Chains A and B, each alone.
Chain A
Amino acid sequence: MNLVLAKTETGKALSDIFAIARNRLPGAGKVAGVRQQAFEAYERAGLPNRRVEEWKYTDLRVLMREVLPLAAAPDAVALKRARVAVQLHAVEDASKLVLVDGVLVPELSDLTKLEAGVSVKTLRATLEDASNDARSDLLLTDTTDAMISLNAALATDGVVIGIADGAALSRPIQIIHVATAPSASAFTRSYLKVGHGARATLVENFVAADGARSHQVNDAVIVWIGDGADLSQVRLMDDGTDAVNITSGIFTVGAKAKLNLFNMFSGGAVGRFQGFVTLNGEGTELSINGVNLLRGKQHGDMTLVVDHAVPNCVSREIFRAVVDDRAHSVFQGRINVRPKAQKTDARMMTRALLLSDEAEADNKPELEIFADDVACGHGATTGALDDSLLFYLRARGLSENEAQALLIQAFVGEAIEQIASDALREQVTATAQRWLEARR
Chain B
Amino acid sequence: MPAVQETVDRVRRVDVDQYRYGFETLIESDKAPKGLSEDTVRFISAKKSEPAWMLEWRLEAYRRWLTMTEPAWARVEYPKIDYQDLYYYAAPKPKKQVSSLDEIDPEILKTYEKLGIPLREVAMLEGVEPRPGEADTARRKIAVDAVFDSVSVATTFKEELMKAGVIFMPISEAIREHPDLVKQYLGSVVPTSDNFFATLNSAVFSDGSFVYVPPGVRCPMELSTYFRINERNTGQFERTLIIADKGAYVSYLEGCTAPQRDENQLHAAVVELVALDDAEIKYSTVQNWYPGNSEGVGGIYNFVTKRGDCRGDNAKISWTQVETGSAITWKYPSCILRGDNSRGEFYSIAISNGYQQVDSGTKMIHLGRNTTSRIISKGIAAGKSQNTYRGLVTAHRKATGARNFTACDSLLIGDQCGAHTVPYVEAKNSSALFEHEATTSKISEDVLFYCIQRGLSQEEAVGLVVNGFVKDVLQQLPMEFAVEAQKLISISLEGSVG
Verify whether A and B have any Cβ pair under 8 Å.
yes
> Could you list 24 examples of A-B contacts with CB < 8 Å?
A339-B415, A354-B427, A354-B429, A358-B397, A360-B426, A361-B426, A363-B423, A363-B426, A364-B423, A365-B438, A366-B420, A366-B422, A367-B420, A368-B420, A369-B418, A373-B415, A375-B441, A376-B441, A377-B439, A377-B440, A380-B425, A380-B437, A381-B434, A383-B434
Known A372-B413, A378-B438: A358·B429 in contact at CB below 8 Å: yes
Q: Does B32 sit at the interface, judged by CB under 8 A?
A: no
A359 within 8 A of B: yes
Question: Taking CB as reference atom, which chain A residue is nearest B436?
Answer: A380
**A374 at the B interface (CB under 8 A):** yes
Question: What is the chain B residue whose CB lies nearest that of A332?
Answer: B424
Q: Which 7 A-B residue pairings sit nearest by Cβ, starting from the closest? A: A354-B430, A372-B412, A380-B436, A382-B427, A377-B439, A383-B433, A367-B421
> B399-417, CB under 8 A of A: which get 1 and which 0?
0100000000010111111
Roughly how many angstroms separate A380 CA and B423 CA in the complex, as a whole number? 10
A368 contact set on B, CB distance < 8 A: 418, 420
Contact B440 A342 (CB under 8 A): no
Shortest Cβ gap from A269 to chain B (Å): 19
Q: Are B433 and A382 in contact (CB under 8 A)?
A: yes
Other-chain contact of B415, A358, A372, A376 (Cβ < 8 Å): A372
- Whether the Cβ atoms of A365 and B436 lie closer than 8 Å is yes
- For the complex, is A357 an interface residue (Cβ under 8 Å from B)? yes
Beta-carbon contact of A367 and B415 below 8 Å: no
Q: A377-B438, A378-B437, A383-B433 are in contact. Are A367 and B410 (CB under 8 A)?
A: yes
Interface of A is mostly: strand
Chain A positions within 8 Å of B73 at CB level: 53
**0/1 string, B419-457, CB within 8 A of A gives 1:** 111111111111111111111111000000000000000
Asked if A19 is at the interface (CB within 8 A of a chain B CB), the reply is no
Q: CB of A356 within 8 A of chain B?
A: yes
A376 to B438 Cα, complex, angstroms: 8
Q: Report the nearest A residue to B424, measured CB to CB.
A: A364
Give Cα A377–Cα B413 distance, bound, in whole angstroms: 17
Chain A 312-356 per-residue mask, 1 if CB under 8 angstroms from chain B, else 0 = 000000000000000000000000000100100000000010111
Residues of B whose CB lies within 8 Å of any CB of A are 73, 397, 400, 410, 412-442
Q: How far is the CB of B426 from chain A (nearest CB, A)?
A: 5
Chain B proximity of A359: nearest CB distance (Å): 6
Per the bound structure, the CA–CA distance linking A375 and B422 in Å amounts to: 17
Cα separation A94 to B415 with both chains bound (whole Å): 47
Check A360–B428 contact: CB distance below 8 A: yes
Asked if A125 is at the interface (CB within 8 A of a chain B CB), the reply is: no
Q: Which residue of A lies closest to B426 (CB)?
A: A362
Are the CB atoms of A367 and B440 closer together than 8 Å? Answer: yes
Complex formed: what's the CA distance from A396 to B475 in Å? 45
Give the chain A neighbours of B429 by CB distance below 8 A: 354, 357-359
Smallest CB gap from B425: residue in A: A363
Q: Which residues of B contact A358 (CB under 8 A)?
A: 397, 429
Q: Are A367 and B419 in contact (CB under 8 A)?
A: yes
Please give me the residue from chain B that is nearest to A53 by CB atom.
B73
Bound Cα distance from A363 to B428, whole angstroms: 12
Q: How far is the CA of A200 from the CA of B417 in the complex (A)?
A: 39
How distant is the Cα of A355 from the Cα of B432 in the complex, in angstroms? 11
Q: Are A372 and B414 in contact (CB under 8 A)?
A: yes
CB-based contact B439/A376 at 8 Å: yes
Measured CB to CB, the closest approach of chain B to A285, in angstroms, equals 20
A369 in contact with B410 given A364-B422, A377-B438, A383-B434 (CB within 8 Å): yes
- Cross-chain contact B423 with A365 (CB below 8 angstroms): yes
Judge if A436 is at the interface, Cβ distance under 8 Å.
no
- Cα A162 to Cα B438 in complex, Å, equals 40
CB distance from A49 to the nearest CB of B (A): 15
Task: Kindly identify, within residues 377 to 400 of chain A, every residue whose CB is under 8 Å from any CB belonging to chain B.
Answer: 377-384
Known: A342-B415, A369-B412. Contact between A382 and B420, CB under 8 A? no
Contact between A381 and B440, CB atoms less than 8 A apart: no
Q: How far is the CA of A311 from the CA of B180 in the complex (A)?
A: 62
- Please give 15 more A-B residue pairs, beta carbons under 8 A apart, in addition to A366-B422, A382-B427: A339-B415, A352-B427, A354-B432, A357-B429, A363-B426, A363-B436, A365-B438, A369-B418, A376-B439, A377-B439, A379-B435, A380-B437, A381-B435, A382-B434, A384-B430
Q: Return chain A residues, CB-CB under 8 Å to B417.
A: 370, 372
Contacts of B427 in A (CB 8 A): 352, 354, 360-362, 382-383
| CB-defined contacts of B416 to chain A, threshold 8 Å | 339
Please determine whether B420 and A369 come into contact, CB atoms closer than 8 angstroms.
Answer: yes
Q: Is A371 an interface residue (CB 8 A)?
A: yes
Which residues does chain B contribute within 8 Å of A339, judged by CB atoms?
Answer: 415-416
B123 smallest CB distance to A (angstroms): 46
